[in-house]
Chain A
Amino acid sequence: MAATGKTIRNIATALLAAGALATVATPAFAQRDPAYAAARANGTIGEKMDGYLGFVGSPSGDLKKLVDDLNIRRKASYADRARSQGVTIEEFAFTQGCLLIARTVAGEKYQAPDGSWQTRGSGPARVDPRCPAAS
């Protein structure tokens, strides 16, 4: 069936994109707050599909404050860029989420297309098939 073929092709494209993104090193993340970096590394928090950070377990008050603040700042950046691109904040945030999930490193948590939390292994992350391929 044509639709099935297309779906498979899309998944293949997404996987290729994820692989390509994974190979792109991101030294810029060195500027993270140490508490934020630690929470990412130990899997307390993870990247959600919607472009925001989520809690895998129940966070301490301090960590919740920190992550809420990051998510608010993320949303502000999404709003700016969504406006200039003429798309909704959710659409931009989703695209950003594709990238952020693809860029997680081994041991970090991310939300898989089925909504479950996954730990990033050595292979590519499971990104939504609708995630655009990286240019």
Chain B
Amino acid sequence: MSGARWKARLTPAAAGANTAPMNFSGGSAPGWQRLIACGTMAAGLSVLGACVNVNAPSEPIVIELNVNIKQEVLYRLVDSAEENIEENPEIF
């Protein structure tokens, strides 16, 4: 199993916690995405010229709570993993 494969898989859950706080920076979508969104909205609502441009704040919104929860989970996993070795020494 290559390192890269599980690395990618585990990143959101196991890793994200331990590394950087998650940054939710609002819609700085490229222009073409906005165009598509506008087009979709116009088509769906049958209202022309109803597109509103919303500017995202330049500062990323950092939600620290997520980080704490995830780190708590990681610590719990370590405790359980330690226990696993103690309870099943013959397989480790």
Contact = CB atoms under 8 A, between A and B. Distances in A.
Q: Do A and B come from one complex?
A: yes
Interface of A: 2-3, 6-7, 10, 26, 28-33, 48-50, 70, 73-74, 77-78, 81, 84-85, 87-88, 90-92, 94-96, 98-100, 103, 111, 113-115, 128-132, 134-135
A49 B3 CA distance: 8
Nearest to A100: B92
A132 B3 contact: no
B80 interface: yes
Interface residues of B, number: 33
Interface string B81-92: 110111011111
Given A29-B89, A91-B13, A132-B18, A115 B4 contact: yes
B77 A10 contact: no
A92 B80 CA distance: 9
Contacts of B74: 95, 132
**Residue with the greatest number of chain B CB neighbours at <10 A, chosen from A103, A115, A130:** A130
B78 interface: yes
Interface string B50-91: 000000000000000000000101111111111011101111
Interface of B: 1-4, 6-7, 9-10, 13-15, 18-20, 71, 73-82, 84-86, 88-92
Contacts of B78: 95, 98-99, 132, 134-135
Given A29-B89, A90-B10, A130-B10, 13 more contacts: A3-B20, A10-B18, A28-B85, A77-B88, A77-B91, A81-B84, A90-B9, A91-B13, A98-B81, A99-B85, A115-B3, A134-B78, A135-B75
Interface residues of chain B: helix, strand, loop or mixed (majority): helix
A88 B13 contact: yes
Given A49-B3, A49-B6, A132-B77, A26 B19 contact: no
B73 to A, nearest CB: 7
